[in-house]
């Protein structure tokens, strides 16, 4: 059997005048919108594809908005309830410590009564001061965000 030897052809040299240059241009466009509803021209396109689609999309956004508002109302009510419970329990604990301190002092245990009563009183005052500062800080932040200029 004879072996055939393959030889590579030398590369073709193409003169610059004969080279054909192809330029491919790609163009991409994107559109961004935020919020529950697309812009009106897109809503109109939905309506062209499926009759009544724009109306259904608007109704869906309204239902979602109503649902979100109901959830927010429940969260606010729950937060208020938890805040009141915290205040009541804190008052009970603080008063118990102060009353316990008074009882200890009246029964002849002045040092331990002073420590227990003083700790309870200090706890009540510190929680009140911390809560006042926290509420003031929240009000200031809310004021800043409400008064901040809207940028687009």
pLDDT for 56 equals 94
Place of tokens 């040092």: 111
**What phi, psi does 125 have (nearest 5°)?**
-65, -45
pTM: 0.53
Q: Tell whether 71 is covered by a domain.
A: yes
Q: Tell whether 29 is covered by a domain.
A: no
Residue 133: both structure tokens together: 């500062």
**For residue 1, pLDDT beyond 50:** no
pLDDT band (50, 70, 90) for residue 3: low
Residue span of the structural domain in which 47 resides? 40-143
CA distance 17 to 24: 20
CA distance 126 to 67: 39
Q: Tell whether 88 is covered by a domain.
A: yes
pLDDT for 11 equals 62
**Which helix (H) or strand (E) element contains residue 96?**
helix 53-106
Is the Cβ–Cβ distance between 138 and 149 less than 8 Å? Answer: no
Q: Tell whether 55 is covered by a domain.
A: yes
Number of compact structural domains in the chain: 1
Mean pLDDT of 10-32: 69
Residue 42: both structure tokens together: 């897109």
Residue 81: both structure tokens together: 């309830």
Residues 43-70 have pLDDT tens digits of 999 989 999 999 999 999 999 999 999 9
Q: Tell whether 94 is covered by a domain.
A: yes
Residues 64-94 have pLDDT tens digits of 999 999 999 999 899 888 888 887 888 888 8
Q: Tell whether 14 is covered by a domain.
A: no
């Amino acid at each position: 059997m004879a072996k055939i030897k393959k030889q590579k052809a030398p590369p073709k040299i193409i003169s610059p005048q004969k080279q054909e240059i192809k330029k491919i241009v790609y163009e991409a466009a994107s559109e961004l919108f935020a919020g529950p509803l697309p812009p009106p021209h897109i809503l109109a396109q939905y309506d062209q594809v499926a009759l009544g689609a724009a109306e259904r999309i608007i109704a869906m956004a309204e239902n979602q908005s109503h649902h979100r508002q109901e959830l927010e109302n429940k969260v606010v009510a729950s937060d208020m309830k938890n805040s009141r419970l915290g205040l009541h329990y804190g008052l009970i604990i603080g008063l118990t410590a102060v009353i316990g301190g008074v009882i200890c002092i009246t029964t002849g245990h002045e040092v331990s009564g002073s420590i227990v009563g003083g700790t309870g009183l200090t706890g009540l005052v510190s929680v009140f001061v911390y809560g006042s500062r926290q509420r003031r800080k929240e009000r200031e932040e809310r004021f800043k965000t409400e008064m901040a200029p809207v940028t687009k």
